[in-house]
Chains A and B, each alone.
Chain A
Amino acid sequence: MTKLDSLQGIVAKSSERPLLSILLFRIGAADNARAFLRHWLRFVPDGRAPPPVDAPELYFLFSWDGVSKLLAGHPTLKIDVGRDQLEGYFTNSDLAPDNPARAPDLGFVGDSAPQGWWEGKFLSAEIELALYCCFADDPQQGATLAEMRQSAAASGLQELTLPSFPQHALSGARPPDGVLHFGFRDGVTQPKIDWEDKKMPGEVDRRQFVIGYPSEAYPVKPLKPGPWLDFARDGCFAGLTWLYQDVARFNRFLRDNATTVAAAGVGGDAQEWLAAKLMGRWRDGSPLARYPTIPPAAPDLDDAFGYADDPRGEKCPLAAHIRVANLRDQGLSFGNQVRFPDGPPRLQRRGFSYGSRLDGVDDDGGRRGLVGVFLFARINEQFHTVLRWMQATDFSDAFRAIPNGLRSQDSVVGNRDKRNANSQAFIPLSGGRDIEFRLQNFVRFQGVKTFFVPSLKTLGVLAGQWS
């Protein structure tokens, strides 16, 4: 069983604070950086206790280089051993998302290529520490960021700033109505985690979300008992994914293809129908799996639905975003059944939206999108796999049912510049008819980095509490 009070709170649940910022740093002298951590540790809630109302919530995320710097000289946690014991996709830069050997399969080509990430100001490899900060209001955000920056500078931390944000750091909010830039209500689905190993139906094994309990189905590293397993236990990994959403292009796509939809006789609002077929939900969050033709009168956010009765995608197209990102009861291909004997990979989401809303089809040149923060226990088998599946839908034999289906892509997130990608959206209709559209790039990756999110105990170790 995992004790929630051993976790950084963000691993157990989303913060309810409306404003969020992520500060990125390079670490200078280890002693000073440890002192910085010790100073700010008191603002890190655990996974069970409610955070103090009048204070910010802070969470600490580290790259392997950051971990290595902070553990330099540790009596038992030897860096060369840790590099071998922790997952290679964390410790080996050749396996990082921005490595040229990995990036194309993950969709990081063309305008999403790593060369353009982080506004060209720094490289992913330079980020060694990230502070995920949650605030109650603007004054708290402003005051805390100023104080943290002063404290960081005095501790030899070099902030890696992003000038396009008013706060000069990834910053945004969770909209009160949950509606993100493409106009859809988000945050409807989060995996229900079986923290106590009760094996209840519908719950996801905790080994998908915390390190330290390896099993045959989940060979989460470290595999062997020892100091590094103790170090990693009750931690997880976080995939920071900064996305630009091209709202004007998305809206133009809906407008330009509405005539085709109307001609097919689907009825209702053609643009709304097409938008729902790309996402897999209506704008209000109701799933197409339950409401394939028109949305319900009131939003239906009951998450207990599947696709078993919809093998061809007549209700919810196979490549709709939510069906690719979480295929539910749709079968995996044999190779993936072997890799995931306990069910498909899942991710927890802790992201937020940034930038002003845009309506209509004319771009205003503003920066807007999503700062995704995904949590998981295995980098390659969860985070990278879901990214790859969005770029090539060969993970399920169901895609054989549509033309060139194994090379399809996520209708919203797919990068059409990927080599050999099938950029056609295939939307089956009843009676064996279908409509096809040539998809476009609706999002651009602007920075991706994987971090370790240590347990509270290990956070103390990284802060120099070694005795």
Chain B
Amino acid sequence: MTHGLNLTLPIKQDAATQAALQELKDKFPTIQSTIGAALAKFHRVHFARVCVVDNKYIQVITEYEGAHDEYIEFFRRELTPIFEKIFALADVPADVVQDPDKFRDYSVSRQIRSLGTAEDGAVDFAGKPSGWLFSAYNYKTVEDIQAALAKA
């Protein structure tokens, strides 16, 4: 089953936070390399991107597969400094990234469900049907696709 992560955080509007946001934007070419290197080795994420909407919201959007209970802890550990930067833009207590439970609870609370209903039986962290996510290749996994490409 393929899941859609639409993590959406409101960005604080004070001057210091907006300056930090600009710094994040400026440094993102380096940050994206770090994220990309981790995801390349993870073999569970199809696509990933980070978006800023009118300097008011920041979104981490991915398409991934695997058990929610394991995926979240991988990201917390592997990308701690990056999540600290992103979470600092919102009004999130500093210790959230250090605490597996708080990180999970916060991430789940900021997930925006897409409209519609998943067609591959995917469920969200609470076990409820996920929102619609179109797949052009019948929800094949990253591993399946990479293996097929290797044979081609």
Contacts and interface: CB of A to CB of B under 8 A. Distances in A.
Contacts of A339: 70, 73-74, 77
A217 B67 CA distance: 21
A94 B126 contact: yes
A205 interface: no
B33 to A, nearest CB: 17
B127 interface: yes
Interface residues of B, number: 31
A221 interface: yes
A101 interface: yes
Interface residues of A, number: 29
Contacts, number: 66
B105 A333 contact: no
Given A87-B101, A221-B101, A223-B98, A101 B73 contact: no
Nearest to B124: A101
Interface of A: 84, 87-88, 94, 99-102, 105, 219, 221, 223, 333-336, 338-339, 380-381, 384-385, 388, 392, 394, 400, 406, 419-420
A84 B41 CA distance: 33
B100 interface: yes
Given A88-B104, A88-B105, A94-B126, A394 B66 contact: yes
A100 B127 contact: yes
Interface in B23-79: 41-44, 66-67, 69-71, 73-74, 77-78
Contact of B99 (A102, A221, A381, A406): A221
Contact of A101 (B74, B99, B100, B127): B127
Nearest to B71: A335
Contacts of B121: 419
B42 A334 contact: yes
A459 B86 CA distance: 42
Given A223-B98, A338-B78, A105 B69 contact: yes
B134 interface: no
A99 B77 contact: no
Interface in B112-137: 121, 123-128
Interface of B: 1, 41-44, 66-67, 69-71, 73-74, 77-78, 95, 98-101, 104-105, 121, 123-128, 141, 143, 147
B147 to A, nearest CB: 8
B70 A335 contact: yes
A221 B100 CA distance: 9
B99 A219 contact: yes
Contact of A335 (B44, B125, B128, B147): B44
Contact of A333 (B43, B95, B147): B43
B114 to A, nearest CB: 18
B70 A400 contact: no
Nearest to B125: A101
**Minimum-distance CB pairs A-B, first 9:** A101-B127, A88-B101, A334-B41, A335-B74, A100-B127, A338-B78, A105-B67, A335-B42, A338-B77
Nearest to A95: B69
Contacts of B99: 219, 221, 223
Contacts of B123: 101
A223 B66 CA distance: 27
A315 to B, nearest CB: 25
Contacts of B70: 335-336, 339, 385, 388
29 contacts: A88-B105, A99-B127, A100-B127, A101-B127, A102-B69, A102-B127, A219-B99, A221-B101, A223-B99, A333-B43, A334-B41, A335-B43, A335-B44, A335-B70, A335-B71, A336-B70, A338-B77, A339-B74, A339-B77, A380-B69, A380-B73, A380-B100, A384-B69, A385-B70, A388-B70, A400-B143, A406-B141, A406-B143, A419-B121
Nearest to B127: A101
Nearest to A391: B67
B142 to A, nearest CB: 10
